[in-house]
Chains A and B, each alone.
Chain A
């Protein structure tokens, strides 16, 4: 079946790195995504990774994929107050545009 799991909360100090983890069950997943949802807003795609990659870096964001363990992580370097949001891990596979979302991780920043 399809299942994507994340921890619900993460609190980090401003300036530290944040690491948000996700596990998924569908071994046929070929795209894995990270979306960001700010309060009162819709979801915004942050980054995505193909299943044949194990790492992708985009400025302060680093995505790591361990396909064997079906584990995806998002690292945000030098976390800022503007990074406060809910971060959703998601996956899709050969089933066209259907995306399965995790429950979201609420990231809060301490001064």
Chain B
């Protein structure tokens, strides 16, 4: 009965490859997010979707493309992977996108680019 789940948990790949990370929430929430946490634990928002519509798009390279097929899923596709993309990527969801709405985080996907 995991609330926010991500697959895979670990992903090791070579530079130049294209990869996807999937996220699903079973909380009935309207809003989902992708965060990147670097090796120094610094956490930064990348994208946010509300009811499948993009509402936050931070300064992220075009190689990163989120896709939300329905409001329970938010996938992250990364093209032409670079060494600097190595990080832990967290998916999160919240009831809605009003200020103060509690965000529930997934367990993270550790991406290593070699």
Interface residues of A (CB under 8 A from B): 30-31, 37, 40-45, 48, 50, 86, 88, 92-99, 101, 103-104, 106
B99 within 8 A of A: yes
Contacts of B41 in A (CB 8 A): 37, 86, 103-104, 106
* Chain A: CB-nearest residue to B102: A45
B100 within 8 A of A: yes
With an 8 Å Cβ cutoff, the count of chain B residues facing the other chain is 28
Task: Report how far A106 CA is from B40 CA in the complex, Å.
Answer: 11
Does A97 lie within 8 Å of B48, measured CB to CB?
yes
Does A99 lie within 8 Å of B105, measured CB to CB?
no
Does B43 lie within 8 Å of A88, measured CB to CB?
yes
B44 within 8 A of A: yes
Does A97 lie within 8 Å of B44, measured CB to CB?
no
Does A98 lie within 8 Å of B45, measured CB to CB?
yes
